[in-house]
Chains A and B, each alone.
Chain A
Amino acid sequence: MAVPGSLLFVERNARVYRRTWRGSVISTFLNPILYLLAMGLGLGTLVDDGGGATQLDVDYLTYLAPGLLAAATMMTAAGESMYPVMAGMKWNKYYHDALATPLSIRDLVVGHFGWLAARILFTAVVFTGVMASFGTISLVKAPLLIIPSVLGGLAFAGPITAYAAQLKNESGLAAVFRFVITPLFLFSGTFFPIEELPDWMEPFAYATPLWHAVDLTRSVALGIPTTLDPVIHYAVLVGFLIAGGFVADRYFHKRLRV
């Protein structure tokens, strides 16, 4: 049986990761711990003592953790959607390399997203593991967080991959973190309910995948209802993934088939 080209490309990425994982392991394992310690326990003590726990119905650490989980998969997705794509197109051109073999451009696109899903899944598993060790979620419930958080990451992977695929030089990469990822991280309900935002800002949160992912993960973690119908939340996330993936595929073909 012939192995699909996209799977062979996933295998390539896994092999490269096996050599380079040390660089990202700190951010994968240590960042959740640091954030939960600093924000959840440090800042959380102030919030809880200041009446936050009553308002949120739950202590701040428990409230925050699922939000941070969704943000963490977003970060992984953003990084893995940009640097490897830039490298494949421009830096060491490993896409060009693969295209001299039986692999097709579509194989690269599908393999890229396949590998991203695995990377995001890894982040989500580690993060929920850390959450469980902090006692913010039971081990039974923890696996339920995987699907919404991974999907949340993939919703970013679609458009960011498309963006990176048409980028001519690397200065555009930092802009994504500066103007998209960081503001979303701060204002999409990760740290506080978006109802606390000025009214005019709320619709912006609705339009971003992160808020939908946060709302879903938090509802699962805390056992509370979602803000909108969960179908809508999931539809938005899947929509971002599919639309982004479609545009990414177009750009990959435009750039690599010359």
Chain B
Amino acid sequence: MTEPLVRASGLTKRFGDFTAVDDVDFVVNPGEVFGFLGPNGAGKSSTMKMIGAVSPVTAGNLTVFGLDPEADGARIRARLGSVPQDNLLDTELTVFENLFIYGRYFDLPKAVIRERIDELLAFAHLEERRDDLVDPLSGGMKRRLTIARALINQPDLILLDEPTTGLDPQARHALWDRLYRLKRQGVTLIITTHYMDEAEQLCDRLVVMDNGKIVAEGSPRSLIGRFATRDVVELRFSLDMQPAESELEGLAKRIESLPDRTLLYTDNADATLVDLTERSLAIESTIVRRSTLEDVFLRLTGRSLID
């Protein structure tokens, strides 16, 4: 068993009276894609900043590459690639200049940086925009540039904080494709997200965070297996026609009533649908789908992941 890249035990971050990260334990192993899934304010970004050796640990233990971020911050950061939530690009400069200056921060020789920039621009599909200013680039392009920039030092570990938030579906898929490619090259990725589909697509293993605590841990499949059923039947009712709970009883293993819809958790959607037709309910629409991490989150916290 190889030594984990990141090991946290009792990790805590407080801002004054507010506890953002509350006594969490996790390890991230080399080569895996590890995710922090949770709603805004769950403590994901604070955890990332501590791993990134930019934010001091309040309490507990944290090692990154076996080093202490407090004492060896610069050595840790030299081997990290960081993709912060807001892109933090220098909008007054060109695409090339942004990459070049960032490379110089790592004290890389200029010739090496130039060579890598050519590769990274191809990777990020930004060759045509090399000498354009950053400001007019689209959101997806800026995101790809930020990821390319994080790769300039050929990091062993990349931290991606909400990599696709605010992107349209096409840009998201283009970005996921890039992240897959990195994974295949053996780079370890740590991702925070509040999109369950993103976590399912990308993560080998993830922890679900809520209010600064880790509430569950596992692979997306195992979490769904443990905390949800195979299928979900989503029912929408006509206005004010929401049936009483007793009317739905026995239809599914578990029933969750949300303000706008009712979720029936079942291992056999077909059977549930047959049962449904036998009860005369004012159903407006029915959707049958597989369980997702959203359902896991709902089960664990009683709340929806995205408001």
Contacts and interface: CB of A to CB of B under 8 A. Distances in A.
Interface of A: 2-3, 5, 8-9, 11-12, 15-16, 19-20, 92-94, 96-104, 257-258
A257 B55 CA distance: 6
A114 to B, nearest CB: 15
Interface stretch (B36-44, B90-98, B176-184, B293-301): B90-98
B101 A102 contact: no
A101 B102 contact: yes
A15 B97 contact: yes
A19 B77 contact: no
Given A19-B93, A258-B55, A12 B101 contact: yes
B78 A102 contact: yes
16 contacts: A8-B104, A8-B105, A8-B107, A12-B101, A16-B93, A92-B92, A93-B88, A94-B90, A96-B54, A97-B84, A97-B102, A100-B52, A103-B74, A103-B105, A104-B74, A258-B15
Nearest to B152: A101
Contacts of A19: 92-94, 97
B190 interface: no
Which of B91, B93, B94 has most A Cβ within 10 Å? B93
A99 B84 CA distance: 12
Which of B77, B89, B105 has most A Cβ within 10 Å? B105
Contact of B90 (A2, A16, A100): A16
A103 B78 CA distance: 9
B80 A100 contact: yes
B56 interface: yes
A94 B88 contact: yes
A12 B105 contact: yes
Interface in B51-77: 52, 54-56, 73-75, 77
B76 to A, nearest CB: 9
Nearest to B54: A99
B56 A12 contact: no
A100 B77 contact: yes
B47 interface: no
Nearest to B82: A100
A16 B102 contact: no
A257 B93 contact: no
A11 B97 contact: no
B54 A100 contact: yes
Interface in B81-120: 82, 84, 86, 88-94, 97, 100-102, 104-107
B91 A92 contact: yes
A3 B93 contact: no
Given A8-B104, A20-B92, A100 B84 contact: yes
Contacts, number: 71
B77 A2 contact: no
Given A8-B107, A258-B15, A102 B77 contact: yes
Interface residues of B, number: 30
A94 to B, nearest CB: 6
B16 to A, nearest CB: 11
A257 B56 contact: yes
Nearest to A93: B88
B97 A96 contact: no
Contacts of B93: 15-16, 19
B106 A101 contact: yes
B196 to A, nearest CB: 27
Contacts of B78: 101-102
Nearest to B94: A19
Contacts of A97: 84, 88, 90, 102
Contacts of A102: 74-75, 77-78, 105-107
The 5 closest A-B pairs by CB, nearest first: A101-B105, A100-B82, A102-B74, A97-B88, A102-B78
A40 to B, nearest CB: 36
Contacts of B82: 100
B73 A104 contact: yes
Nearest to A2: B107
B134 to A, nearest CB: 10
Contacts of B84: 96-97, 100
Interface in B1-43: 15
Given A15-B93, A15-B101, 13 more contacts: A8-B104, A9-B105, A16-B92, A19-B92, A92-B91, A99-B54, A101-B102, A102-B74, A102-B77, A102-B105, A102-B106, A104-B73, A258-B55
B101 A92 contact: no
Contacts of B107: 2-3, 8, 102
Contacts of B106: 101-102
Nearest to A103: B105
B189 to A, nearest CB: 16
A15 B113 CA distance: 15
Contacts of B77: 100-102
A50 to B, nearest CB: 49
B256 to A, nearest CB: 38
A2 B74 CA distance: 13
A20 B56 CA distance: 35
Contact of B104 (A11, A94, A100): A11
